[in-house]
Every structure is written in C-alpha cells, then in structure tokens.
A and B are shown apart, each in its own frame.
Chain A
Amino acid sequence: MVDQIDAIFQADDYGVHYPDSRGRFGPYGGKYVPETLIPALEELEDIHATAMQDEDFRTELNSLLETYVGRPTPLTHARRLTEHFGGPEIYLKREDLAHTGAHKINNALGQALMVKRILGKNRVVAETGAGQHGVATATACALLDMECVVYMGSVDMARQAPNVFRMRLLGADVREVSSGSQTLKDAINEAIRDWVTNVPDTHYLLGSALGPHPFPVMVRNLQSVIGREARRQMLDPSTGPGQLPDVVVACVGGGSNAIGMFYPFVMDPGVRLVGVEAGGRGIDSHEHAARFADPKMGRLGVLHGTRSYVLQDEDGQIALTHSISAGLDYASVGPEHALLRDRERAEYFYCTDEQALAGFELLCRQEGIIPALESAHAVGWLPELMSDVSSDDVVLVSLSGRGDKDLDTVMAELSPGH
C-alpha cells in the first residue's frame, strides 16, 4: 500500500480548520519564540506546505515508509489480553514493529527528507527523552547523509543507556545536558539554543507535536499515518474486526503518537478517544507528568514556544516532573490535545508508574510483546476502562514502541524471580 501520506490534507478538521494561520488551536499553540527564529519557522511553514503537495517528495517518502520503515505496521488482535479482561475485543497498532522500534521514525524521516530535499539544509539538531526520537533522528540522518546532533539530559542518558550507544553507532553526536532537571525539557532548551546559533544551516527536528507553529501541525500530519493505517485495518475484515473501534487509547507525553492515532478518527463521532498521561507516583505526590489531571500545578502557560497546559509552580516556574518513562516525563502537552479536551472530543486520564509496570508485565505474559514503558501506560490504564465498556465493544490501543530500551529500569523495579 503506497497511500501513507496521501490523505494528510483530507482527514481535515473538526468543524473549523485547525490550526489557524497564526498556528493557533483555539486558545492554544502559537509562536512564542525569540525573533531570531521567526524566519526559520516561516520557512518551515512554506516547505511543509510545499512538501505535502509535491508529487516527487510524497513518492519518495511513501517509498521509504514502505521499504525502509516497514509500513504499514500490523494490527494485532490481542486474543489473550482480551480473554484476560473478559471484556471487549482488544487490538494493538504495532508501532513497536516499525524500524528503530517506535513511531518516532515516521516524523523523523519525514522532516529530515523535507529539509534535505526542499530546504537543502544538511545539519540537524534534536532533543530526546527516552532516546527513541534521538535514535529515529540519527537513523534518518545516517540514511540521508546528514550531520546529526542530539541533546539529552544526564538523567535520561543514565536511564536509557542502550539508546545513547545506538545513537552513537548511527553516527550522531550525543551531547549531555546537565542544566535544570537534566531531562527532556532541558534537552529542548539546549536544542533551541543550538538552533538559534546555527539557524542558517541547521534544522531543529522536534520530536513531538509541541513547540512553536508549525511543529504541532507538521508532526501531527507526519504521524497521522498511524491512525490512517489503523482505521483502514480495523474496517477491513481481512486485517481487523471489520468495524471502527469504540475506544482508541494512546499514551500522551508531548502527544505525537496519540495525535497521530486520534486525528484520522476525529471525524468519527462514535469513536471515543482516550489519552493516558503519566501519573508518576500519584497526583497528590506532585511527582508526575499529568498536565490535565492536576488542577493546582497544571495550568495554562507558555513553554518552548507554545501555549498549552503546563505543570508549573505558583510563580510560573516550570515544575520538575517525574515518570518512570522518560518519554512521558515532560511538563507540557501538545496544543491540539488541549483543544480536543476542551471540545470534549478526547478524554484524558492518567496511569501511575505502578500501573504502567503492571501493564508492562501483563503484555509480556499475555501477548509475548515487551512494550516501551511509554506504551505500557496505555495498557496499564485498560483495567480502568473495563467497567465502562461491554464485551461487544472493540478497543484499539496504540502500542507506540518496544521495550528493549527499558529493561534496566524494569529490572530495577521488579524483584527477581517475579
């Protein structure tokens, strides 16, 4: 199937066109950046529009997605998980089987190709939390012969060591960020500082559906291949149940796998969309990354160029977050999620570290699939869904990545012989 990006401008909107010309999703989004970066963002808007209409570009990206990334990724009927819950039929969208082991490659390859072919820039900087986006970016840069610098917080480098090594094997220059909380938000700060300094020949390959316009819409468009494939596979009786899902569940850090999965279903009013945030050690502990769940700390704010919900203290300083999963450990959330939530088109819940670990183990034992700790949040939340659904229902879960990178973390948490 070579239709991976064809529908990007067709799966349009929910009533009005979002984002608007200023990059706003209702009251969210925008472009809160130093003036130095404005020309680069304007240029990016142009090439994004050009690329999506450009036949040659689309053909090349489609072909890479098919022959290099391995798309379409399968839809798996999780029979033993279904049996375990004794409830609705559960299907898994297997982004863990995409090349490099997570959905991040869809965006990394798309942006890198855009920048290389249309803009002619040859240097890329990126941030990474779990390392999945860093690995995906390093991979795209190796493939397209581009220079790659990845910024990563010291804390994340320690807990995702295999991915650091992977990036270096792929030729990336991985730079440790030891300022602030030494996690994803600080890596983004540092990537932006590099971009400001080297903007004429450098592209910032942002890994999630956040940041200043046009990143949220560009990343969403590149990731919506997940939802488009899944929707088709669900509807086709030879690949799925032959019907739309009743509920779609995805984990939400910055929110790129979730928005990529949700977007093609937004116009299907019967499909419930559920995002699962990182509940860390619980909302009351204040050690979490659940922007929508904590009314005290999760308030409207501006971080990294976009207006959205931000975990912050009473003085507007960005809060330190915690999640067992590095990829969800971020203080803000993509602006389109904030709008979907306001419009009650998507609902957001959270899953604690403990629940995520339970989800992790469950999927290993029941399905023989080791999920990324990020994706384990979507699985770990399923028990809470069960009281709300009937056994006739069909649930689609976005399995955004595989868990090899998390084995050290999980080993430390689960007792031996467990």
Chain B
Amino acid sequence: MTGVERIRSAIANRQGDTTAAFMPYFPSGFPSRPESVAMMRSMADAGADLFEIGFPFSDPLADGPTIQAATHRALLNGMKTRDCLDIAKELRDAGITQPFCAMSYYNPIFNYGPDRFIEDAVRAGFDGFIIPDLPPDEGQEMEEACREAGLALVYLLAPSSSRERIELVTSRSTGFVYLVSVLGTTGARASLPDYLTDLVAQVRADTDTPVCVGFGVSNGVQAAQVASIADGAIVGSALVKAADGPDGADAVKSLARELARGAHGH
C-alpha cells in the first residue's frame, strides 16, 4: 500500500454517520524527546487512528500560544528535522502501525531539500505531509515529488475559502482535506462554530476525498459533534495542554481515550 492508501484506509475504517477517525497532533520533542515518544505510544493504545507528528519551527505563524510554546520548547530541547524523522522510526520500531503525517512549516523542508526530505520521510515511516504555509499555489513541486513516492500532500481549507478555492483544494489534496474550523490560529475553543455543519457539507459535496476537521476541537463531546458531520477529528492544543501538567502522561492518555470514544461513537 502507498502512504495515500494507508491514510485513506485508516479513515475509511472509522467512516460512518456518527463516527470518524481520531487524529491527534503532537509535537515531537515535547515535553522532552522520550516523553513525546511515550505519549504518542499511549495515544496509539487509546485509539488514535492517524498521527500528525509536529516538526518545530522558530516562526510558527499559524499556531496559537499553546503550540507555539510547546514547539519552542522542542527547539530548546535541541530537536532538529533529523530527530523528528527518527522519532517516527522509533514509533514504527515499537510496533505503531497507524499512518503518520509530518506537520511542518515549509522552510525547514525547503532547507532540508524537498526530495531528500521525502526520501528520508518514507524511510522513517511517514505516509504524508501537512504544510500549513504551502497552499496549492506554491505546492506544485512538493506535490509531484509526493505523487512519485505515493505519499499524501494534505492541503487545507478555511471558513474564508471561496467556491473556487474549495474546488482547487479538493481536486489537489491527497489523503484527506484538512478543514480549519475557525478563522484564527490553532488552539482549544469552548465550542464549535454554528456554521461548521454547512461548511463541511459544502466541502464534501465537492469531493470523495475524506474531510477532516481541526482547530478548536478539544473534548469528547466536540469530537462526537465533528464525527457526526466529517470523516476525521483532529486534536492538537488540548493534548499539548494535557501533556504539560505534572501528571502529563496520564492526562494525555485519559484525554486521548475520551476523544477516541467521542470520535468513534461510543
């Protein structure tokens, strides 16, 4: 199977009227390198269907304060691009089989060399990429290289996206479409916006590619709400916040369980 197929199949396994895939984002190297590995392993046990493994960047302009602080700490911990790739390898070696997407801003990839990055990512066990500052307008090169390697390049949509942008992104995004639920940066929010159901429906009408919702999803109830309208629920900041406390490992595990139950409909 290619990376795209592995992602599609992991999401398809959970597809249903009230169910969806639970897709945690977690920054590699936070709170420390070994802890990030341990926490992702515990989320795999708790029912995660796909991982978005975060690569730190000095200028994360799409991120809110929680993820900014976490990735900054990862950088202080000395995390390099190579270390993030190694973490995926470590998880694979530990028997984690869920698909992995690398979530990185473009400059570290550009600097590493997109072709070499894709090659090393394949070797480490990655299945796709999410690059928040690489819209399809600038993604041609990366897209072709991903296609050759069978990896997914996931593009994003937002509440501000026009009809034309929805058509463009759904026709070019592979693996799934990442629908940003709100205007703004990443971060937990008290409630999901009212327009979300219509927005998801509008995007889904255009494509067979699964539509997964992120930004602002932070508890089991919200995960269940997302599951009843979309194909995947992406959670980042809430897990990062949980990981930051004194009993971080336990808090992450129990939140991951709650989120998985919400998304999986039980």
Contact = CB atoms under 8 A, between A and B. Distances in A.
Contacts of B62: 34, 193, 196
B133 A189 contact: no
Interface in A183-207: 185-186, 188-189, 192-193, 196-200
A34 B59 contact: no
Contacts of A67: none
A318 B183 contact: no
B198 interface: no
A32 B108 contact: no
Interface stretch (B26-34, B42-50, B160-168): B160-168
B180 A316 contact: no
Contact of B158 (A35, A179, A315, A318): A35
A81 B169 CA distance: 58
Interface string A302-321: 11110000101001111000
| Interface of A: prevailing SS | mixed
Given A32-B138, A316-B111, A38 B183 contact: no
B153 to A, nearest CB: 13
B183 A198 contact: yes
Interface string A7-50: 00000000000000010000000111111111110000000000
Given A36-B158, A301-B111, A196 B59 contact: no
Interface residues of B, number: 39
Contact of B133 (A22, A34, A193): A34
Contact of B59 (A189, A200, A300): A189
B81 A200 contact: no
Among A34, A185, A315, A318, max chain B CB count under 10 A is at A315
B165 A196 contact: no
Contacts of B160: 36-40, 199-200
A180 interface: yes
Contacts of B81: 315-316
B183 A36 contact: yes
Interface residues of A, number: 38
A39 B60 CA distance: 21
A116 interface: no
Interface in B11-62: 57-62
A310 B106 CA distance: 13
Contacts of A188: 61
Interface string A284-307: 000000000000000111111100
B185 A317 contact: no
A305 B137 contact: no
Given A301-B110, A312-B107, A316-B108, A180 B59 contact: yes
Nearest to B109: A316
Given A302-B107, A302-B110, A318 B156 contact: no
A302 B111 CA distance: 9
Contacts of B106: 32, 302
A32 B87 CA distance: 27
A147 B133 CA distance: 28
Nearest to B137: A31
Among B72, B108, B109, B155, max chain A CB count under 10 A is at B108
Given A31-B138, A312-B107, A197 B161 contact: no
Given A32-B106, A193-B185, A315 B133 contact: no
17 contacts: A30-B137, A31-B135, A35-B169, A36-B183, A179-B68, A189-B60, A193-B61, A193-B64, A193-B185, A196-B185, A197-B184, A200-B183, A301-B107, A302-B106, A315-B80, A316-B110, A317-B58
Q: Which 4 A-B pairs have the closest CB atoms?
A: A316-B111, A316-B108, A36-B158, A197-B184
